[in-house]
Every structure is written in C-alpha cells, then in structure tokens.
Amino acid sequence: MAAHVQIRSTPAVVTVDAEHAGQRLDNFLAQYFRKVPKARLYRSVRTGEVRVNKGRVRPQHRLCAGDLVRLPPLSSPASAAPGVPGEALSRLLVDSVLFEDEYLLVLDKPSGLAVHGGSGRSLGLIEAMRSLRRHADSLELVHRLDRETSGCLILAKRRRALLGLHEALREGQVDKRYRTLLRGRWRGGGRRVDRALRRVSGRTGERMVRLDAAGQDASTAFTPLSVGDLASFMEARPHTGRTHQIRVHACALDMPVAGDARYGDRGFNAQMREKGLQRLFLHASSVRFTHPVGGQSLQVRAPLPPALAAVLEAIGLGAPGADP
C-alpha cells in the first residue's frame, strides 16, 4: 500500500502505487479510514473533500498507479475507536501463526474470538493483528470462520494476494478441511450433501441459515474418521463457502455438530458437556492452495486443540492429541 499517512487536522495527499492500481476509490478510502462510516466516506467524495488528481470523481472511480488522492481530515467516532489487544491475547495470536511470508499470514484462530469487531465488540482478530503488525497496513481477512470455530484462517498482507485468493476461492481452488463431531453413529463411507442454503433472521434477530431450494447452492463432503454409538468424529470438506454451511448440512443428515447452540440438539449437547466439551466442536484443520504470488503449492495444518482431543478420548474415539 502507499506509505501510511496519519490523518490529523489538515488534508493529506497520497500517491497510488502499483499494488492498488485498479482499485475503486471507495475501497481505497476504507483502508485509510477503517472506523469511519461508509456513508461519511461517500459524502466526502460527493462534496469534493476527496479528490483524485485535483478533480472530483465518483466513489466507483478506478484508481491508476501514480494518481494523487487528496484525503480530508476525517475522524472516527470515539466509541468506534479500535481496541488494543492485551498481553495474553497478543501472546496467543503470535503463538498461533502457522505460516507467514511478505504476502500472507495463516493463523490457528482460537475458539471464542470473532474474526472482526462488531455487535458491541471493538476488537476482533483482524483488529488485533493490525495492532500487532503495524507495518502491514493492508492486512485483510481472506475468508472468515465463525466465532466458536477454531483453526486455519488466511490473512493477506498485500492487495495482490487478497485478490488472487478471492479468485481462487470463487473458482473452488482452495481446499479447506475441518474436523467435527456429529451426533450418533455414522453409517457407511463418505457422503456428500448438496443442499441450497438461505440466510434468514431468527426470532431475536440473530443471523440464521436454513435449507431452501431457492437459496444459494452449497455442497459439503463428510468422511468418517472414528465412529461410535454416541457420536462420530468426521472430516468435513466444504466445496462452497456459505455461512454456517457445515453446521446446517450436518443437521440435514440428522447428525448435528456437538456443542452447536444455534442448530444443534440440546440433549446431545448436555451429554457432551458431561464429557468435557465446552465449545462448538468444529475445527478448520487444514487449508491447501496455490500461493497467489509465488505460485507454489501450500498446505497448512492446525492440530486439533487439546480440549477437543480430550473429548474424543472421553467418548472412546481417540487418544489425547490424536488427529487421524
């Protein structure tokens, strides 16, 4: 990204570098003013506070390398000020790095940490990582994981890497594998669920996903790893990237994910709590893709968290630390 500019009380001018050539002006501004409401950014463009090469343009204007962008002294609301990670979270995230180079960062995301702030939380994983890696001005999430899901999460340090991986995701060229525990005994070998999904609002306004033939196509492959009467330890491979896809497709098989408070079975969840499960049993165990800049094939693995391995041991499906 162009050299980071700290906006104070006077306008500043930044030069668009080759990395951001072709980017829309509104998206370019959003990287400088992460906590400023989008409506305010659009207004600043419409009123001419923001100018490109001294002229007015539309928010959708595509920037070129060498363009001069005038940035006004916008400020975010005090209530939206980003949080700063504490020592424990900082140490946890630093220790969670699985792979890093100048373009990418792959983390083993802890369960219970949202990938971004919002809904009353000023600090999520991406905000914390931007605070820890201040030189990585363009650090962005490549994809997302639910708050209670742990495991492999890809972040991009450069826009080129972000765009390349987004294209790979659209083309189904990113292989993501999950470990999960489903209710009941799995019968037979691998099985693929092809059921469309649609987002809806729950009774209290929370985000929900339902099976709906009129929704978005979604496909998940399930493969048994270790099977018991109470539950089955499974690999889940999503071929699409819909919200809550694995959890809803597991319910379509009448085998909900253990610890799933939103879609799961209360009685089964209570049984699993007695076995030591304190979270959603869903872990992004590996991700494989072609490096968007270097071109080499990468596979990154995140071991099953000890707390989940201990649950498998408690129900007779594996030894602590085992990850078939």
Residues labelled catalytic = 146
> Cα(163)–Cα(27) distance, rounded to whole angstroms?
13
Task: Write out the two tokens for 177.
Answer: 């594998």
Of 158, 166, 162, give the one whose Cα is nearest residue 19: 158
| H-helix or E-strand spanning residue 231 | strand 231-238
> Cα(64)–Cα(46) distance, rounded to whole angstroms?
20
Of 110, 165, 118, 113, give the one whose Cα is nearest residue 140: 165
CB atoms < 10 A from the CB of 115, how many? 21
Question: What φ, ψ does residue 127 adopt, rounded to 5°?
Answer: -65, -40
Burial (CB count within 10 angstroms: exposed 0-12, middle 13-18, buried 19+), residue 78: exposed
Non-local (6+) Cβ contacts of 76 within 8 A are 33, 34, 35, 36
